Amino acid sequence: QVQLVESGGAPVQAGGSLRLSCAVSGNIASYTCVGWFRQAPGKEREGVASIYRGGGTRTYSPDFAKGRFTISTDGVENTVYLQMNSLKAEDTAMYYCAAGARWSWGCADYQYWGQGIQVTVSS
């Protein structure tokens, strides 16, 4: 079993920055990678980025590959971060992290999810 807890969400003005954290605990050996997702009101959940456990290899969904969002990990404390810069109102959403069992051109087979955290960007 793996537990994931997101933190760092807060109201922010457009143009500002936030860093979300995802603390991963439990049976660390049962996951291979971690991904960040988001879901805005009335929209489907979309993938943002994923990273291989321990850092190094990472992938971004096409809409998030333009440099505003950066995924990273400390590699030791099993915490995965999502740095978000130049935030826009349309970035308002619930943000989730999840642990995946397989890496295949990105993280896959997500089996464990955090409860999500709200990010609200005001214009």
Q: What are the pLDDT digits (tens) for 18-33?
A: 999 999 999 988 899 9
Closest CA to 48 of 114, 109, 93: 93
* Dihedrals phi, psi of 62, to nearest 5 degrees: -50, -40
Cβ atoms of residues 36 and 89 within 8 Å: no
Which letter does DSSP use for residue 10 in this model? -
Give the model confidence (pLDDT) of 74-118 as tens digits. 866 689 999 999 999 999 999 999 999 999 889 999 999 999 999
Task: Look at residue 55 and tell me whether its pLDDT is greater than 90.
Answer: no
DSSP, collapsed to helix, strand or coil, labels residue 27 as coil
